């Protein structure tokens, strides 16, 4: 399939009208050049962490919503939306606004198709997770207002792709891809992997305009800071990944970082007291709870198995209004939160991080981002189901 150009958005009479731009194409994403291995501490995935098993949590609502979405598309639209379940398209997501993307854009959907697209996303996420994703999309419109540029920043420049055929037993999934919202959602039976997930925004709060008052990612910010402040001075010292202020963009597991080697850093949860451990667990749950409630419980059970080995790391200050970076890492989850410098207009050439630009990333280390380890095990058991695309 060809890469499709970004949609050009124009503001007219208070409503957005969309058309394909043949004159302007987005930047092509990087095609993965090395086989998927996953995020590891030493280049070698830890085996046996993600067995295929029954969770008892149904995935039927997501399957039905995905099929309804596909049924609502034209044949041409389905052709550019469907990919094999093991396609490299999974790994070609990109948070940046100027990327060319595959799939079906909300900008190109009819009102009915848009309802079906949102129904798919809503079926996969919790109420909180869906609200956050939609609010990020709205804040992207607010950024378009600030920059006076609806060609690059819009509420509807988000693309849906379906990987594989929605099925109750065979592996499949979907991806939502756009500026500051990335959701990768893999399904095998009643098991779900919802990583990589990227949620961010610039601005994080709309001070004016159509969506004035919309705000995101404040709990992730405030609870992270509260946990760091709850540590004793000696514990804070152990938690610090780097000395000094947070002076640059620090996330290491964003786009095209599927195989990054990232050793543990920070303070182990085993060195926290029960109250501090509870705060850490609740912070992890804040991110995990973007999944639908049932599968979030399954994931937190997995997290709890490795809680003692979980590390909490910090870069930056801890005073009121501080900008900072924190990382939570265990064998089964990696979470990053980062205050970023201004990128969109009006740009700040000082490149100083600000609370008005936040990136968060959630990953499944040791080979199970995109459900890859589950898919590998499935192919070992049923080799005839593997497609030629890797």
The pTM is what? 0.92
- Res 182: pLDDT: 98
Residues 39, 95, 353, 201: is their CA dihedral positive or negative?
Answer: negative
Strands, DSSP E only, in the chain? 7-12, 15-20, 82-83, 104-105, 158-163, 172-178, 181-188, 191-193, 197-201, 267-268, 311-316, 324-329, 334-341, 353-363
103/258 Cα distance (integer angstroms): 21
Residue-by-residue pLDDT tens, the chain, 390 positions: 333 333 333 333 333 333 333 223 489 998 899 999 999 999 999 999 999 999 999 999 999 999 999 999 999 999 999 999 999 999 999 999 989 999 999 999 999 999 999 999 999 999 999 999 999 999 999 999 999 999 999 999 999 999 999 999 999 999 999 999 999 999 999 999 999 999 999 999 999 999 999 999 999 999 999 999 999 999 999 999 987 788 878 999 999 999 999 999 999 999 999 999 999 999 999 999 999 999 999 999 999 999 999 999 999 999 999 999 999 999 999 999 999 998 877 666 677 899 999 999 999 999 999 999 999 999 999 987 765 444
The DSSP H or E segment spanning 117 is helix 111-124
User: Could you give phi then psi for residue 185, rounded to 5 degrees?
Assistant: -130, 105
33/80 Cα distance (integer angstroms): 23
- Res 347: pLDDT: 66
């Amino acid at each position: 399939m060809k890469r499709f150009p970004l949609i050009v958005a124009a503001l007219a009479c208070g409503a957005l009208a969309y058309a394909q731009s043949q004159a302007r194409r987005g930047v092509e994403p990087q095609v993965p050049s090395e086989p998927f291995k996953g995020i590891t501490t030493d280049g070698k995935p830890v085996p046996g962490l993600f067995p295929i098993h029954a969770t008892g949590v149904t995935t039927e609502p997501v399957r039905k919503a995905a099929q309804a979405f596909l049924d609502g598309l034209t044949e041409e639209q389905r052709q550019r939306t469907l990919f094999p379940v093991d396609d490299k398209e999974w790994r070609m997501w990109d948070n940046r606004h100027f990327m060319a993307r595959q799939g079906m854009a909300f900008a190109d959907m009819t009102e009915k198709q848009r309802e079906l697209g949102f129904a798919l996303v809503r079926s996969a996420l919790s109420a909180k997770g869906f609200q956050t994703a939609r609010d990020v999309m709205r804040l992207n419109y607010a950024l378009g207002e600030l920059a006076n540029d609806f060609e690059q920043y819009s509420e509807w420049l988000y693309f849906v792709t379906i990987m594989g055929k929605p099925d109750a037993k065979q592996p499949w999934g979907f991806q939502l891809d756009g500026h500051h919202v990335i959701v990768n959602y893999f399904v095998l039976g009643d098991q779900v992997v919802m990583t990589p997930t990227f949620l961010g925004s610039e601005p994080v709060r709309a001070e004016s305009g159509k969506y004035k008052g919309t705000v995101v990612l404040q709990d992730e910010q405030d609870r992270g800071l509260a946990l760091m402040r709850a540590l004793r001075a000696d514990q804070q010292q152990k938690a610090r990944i780097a000395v000094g202020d947070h002076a640059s963009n620090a996330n290491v597991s964003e786009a095209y970082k599927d195989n990054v080697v990232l050793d543990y850093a920070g303070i182990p949860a085993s060195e926290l007291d029960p109250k501090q451990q509870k705060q850490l667990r609740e912070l992890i749950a804040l991110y995990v709870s973007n999944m639908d409630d049932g599968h979030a419980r399954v994931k937190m059970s997995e997290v709890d198995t490795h809680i003692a080995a979980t590390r909490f790391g910090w870069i930056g200050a801890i005073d009121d209004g501080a900008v900072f970076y924190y990382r939570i890492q265990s064998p089964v989850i990696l979470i990053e939160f980062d205050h970023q410098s201004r990128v969109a207009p009006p740009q700040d050439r000082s490149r100083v991080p600000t609370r008005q630009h936040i990136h968060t990333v959630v990953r499944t280390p040791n080979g199970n981002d995109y459900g890859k380890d589950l898919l590998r095990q499935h192919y070992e058991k049923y080799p005839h189901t593997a497609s030629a695309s890797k």
